[in-house]
Amino acid sequence: MSKLEPVLAPSLHSGIEGASTPIVSWTPRVRRRVTVALMLLAADLAGGAAALSLAATITTPDVRFGAVLVVAATLLYALLGLYKGIGPSPCERLRLRASAVLLLATFICTSRIAIGDYELVPFIAFSCVFLLVIGYYAEAVARIFLIRRDLWTAPAVFVGCTQAIRQLARFLTQHPEFGIKPVGGVYTLGEDSEPGGWPLPALSEIDLDKDASPVEILVFGSAEDAAALGLDWRRRLNATELVIAGPGGFGQLQTLWVNTRTLGGVIGIELRRDRRRNWNRIIKRLMDLTLAIPGCIIAAPIIALAAAAIRLADGGPSFYVQERVGENGSRIRVWKLRTMYRDAEERLDAQLAADPQARLQWQRYFKLADDPRILPGIGSFLRRTSLDELPQLWAVVRGKMSLVGPRPLPTYHVRSFDLEFQAIRSAVLPGLSGLWQVGARSDGDLEVQRAQDLFYILNWSIWLDLYVLMETPLAVLCERGAR
């Protein structure tokens, strides 16, 4: 790689020699971080009050211990870095939040049992469960508020010009929930730096005076890029975080739950393969049964009402059964509430034959924005809310599916992927929900679906499953990519 040659704005050239005062003011950075911390703290306190109130309706309350629990939880959140302003990813935030609540619940309940006070234990247990769930959604609301006001994300400069680093910059621009806002790039003066090759403006185009948002993060494409930039220039950018994104396939390696090892003068990265551990597979199955069995009971009257509405709307069968690809390439029968006309296939063929744009859209997404097959009214409602998927809870109980995993797809859809990915995808149980469902859904093409399914398989853990389950209601309520 050729040596990096950062381009400084003209105003940054003056006084570089011997300068002792940072070029960038700290004030905007501090203001943003304090605002983020206060908003998250307020959300957690409000969520804590709601959790205690809900627990009090079920068990005998104790206001004093409830207040201690909420305050202790917020202190632990702060110690774990959830209020920093440059925080962990959403899935990691859930893990840290759950770990803090579990630690508090264990400590308080154990201490009360040790002194023979059993009356308070149910209240603390229910309070902790509600504290985790309500607190998660309270944080989500606060995060949406902060994102819309451009406060959640920390300004970042990306250094390097590899395809991976450019792809990362684009990804973070499209996903502000990760808390990083690409604002500029420093690149080599090689062929990759030709106009149009880099998705961000060169640093010389960024105003870094005292009135602009300061750079908080430097993201490097490799350790070589970090060394090439130079210590003095890094100091003058005044970033508080340095991140080496690393080479290699973006999405081709595990990126969650990694640890570093010092191997002499080399940094080693240890990847945890949770999917290969039998104990984790047992926990996943127990979690599926624990949630799917009561889910079937709760869903039964909803399914019955929806089935009656379908019969009234179209007069045909209320359920639709399709054979799809399951684990290890097996064939499974997937049941859904019928949301399409009985002659859906004929309607689709006619639409694709008459409309070239629809044909291109189908080839890319296997979905249509204006689908002629969907029953008006009840069909559209069931698909938007994903209630048509509820009968698949029984497949989860039977072990043919899991609550979380890549969606079971028809054979024609699976064959659109390359053979290597088909083999990887079939190695896990298909899921009722998944990363694709809580993210892109119908708005994501085959490439997006492949990337998200692969990320899930490579990074699987119980925490990732919990994150997807927690995000699923938000995806349904917000109708993300629903068709």
pLDDT of residue 443: 58
Q: How far apart are CA 456 and CA 451, in angstroms?
A: 9
Q: Directed axis angle between helix 121-148 and helix 462-478, to 10°?
A: 60
pLDDT of residue 9: 35
Beta bridge partners of 323: 333
Per-residue pLDDT of the chain (483 residues; tens, 9 = 90+): 444 544 433 333 333 333 344 444 456 788 888 999 999 999 999 999 999 999 999 988 888 888 989 999 999 999 999 998 787 888 889 999 999 999 999 988 888 888 887 888 899 999 999 999 999 999 999 999 999 998 999 888 888 767 777 778 888 888 888 888 888 777 654 444 444 455 666 665 444 444 445 778 888 877 777 777 666 566 656 677 778 776 544 446 666 767 676 676 667 767 666 666 778 889 999 999 999 999 999 999 999 999 999 998 888 889 989 899 888 888 999 999 998 888 878 888 888 888 888 788 877 777 777 788 888 888 889 988 889 999 999 999 999 999 999 989 888 888 888 888 888 888 889 999 988 888 765 556 778 888 888 889 888 888 999 999 999 988 888 765 555
Q: How far apart are CA 457 and CA 452, in angstroms?
A: 9
By CB atoms closer than 10 A (0-12, 13-18, 19+), residue 109 is middle
Q: How far apart are CA 346 and CA 353, in angstroms?
A: 11
Let me know: does 410 contact 324? Beta carbons within 8 Å: yes
* CATH T-level fold of 152-273: Rossmann fold (3.40.50)
Let me know: does 422 contact 328? Beta carbons within 8 Å: no
Say how many Å lie between the first and final Cα of the chain, rounded. 46
Q: How far apart are CA 435 and CA 218, in angstroms?
A: 28
Please count the helices (runs of H) and the strands (runs of E) in the chain: 18, 10
* CA proximity to 386, closest of 476, 297, 307: 476
* CA proximity to 307, closest of 398, 387, 393, 407: 387
- Spatial neighbors of 254 by CB under 8 A, at least 6 apart, are 271, 272, 273, 458, 459
Q: How far apart are CA 322 and CA 477, in angstroms?
A: 26
pTM of the model: 0.79
For 264, the token pair is 């002499």
336-348: b (≥16 Cβ within 10 Å) or e? bbbbbbeebeebb
Q: How far apart are CA 65 and CA 428, in angstroms?
A: 43
Angle at 75 between CA 69 and CA 78, to 5 degrees: 140
User: Distance of CA 75 to CAs 100, 133, 136, Å?
Assistant: 10, 18, 16
- Residue 369 burial (CB count, 10 A): 11
* CA proximity to 35, closest of 128, 208, 154, 122: 154
- Residue 426 burial (CB count, 10 A): 17
pLDDT of residue 78: 93
pLDDT of residue 211: 41
Place of tokens 């579990």: 102
Let me know: does 425 contact 414? Beta carbons within 8 Å: yes
Place of tokens 């199955």: 285
By CB atoms closer than 10 A (0-12, 13-18, 19+), residue 387 is buried
Q: How far apart are CA 216 and CA 209, in angstroms?
A: 14
Q: How far apart are CA 55 and CA 61, in angstroms?
A: 7
Let me know: does 24 contact 214? Beta carbons within 8 Å: yes
For 17, the token pair is 């020699």
DSSP 458-481: HT--HHHHHHHHHHHHHHHHHTTT
User: Distance of CA 351 to CAs 115, 160, 175, Å?
Assistant: 72, 46, 34
Please state the domain extents for the chain. 28-148, 152-273, 278-339+374-478
For 245, the token pair is 């994104």
Angle at 70 between CA 65 and CA 75, to 5 degrees: 120
Q: How far apart are CA 463 and CA 479, in angstroms?
A: 24
Q: How far apart are CA 135 and CA 45, in angstroms?
A: 8
pLDDT of residue 459: 85
Place of tokens 């699976």: 414
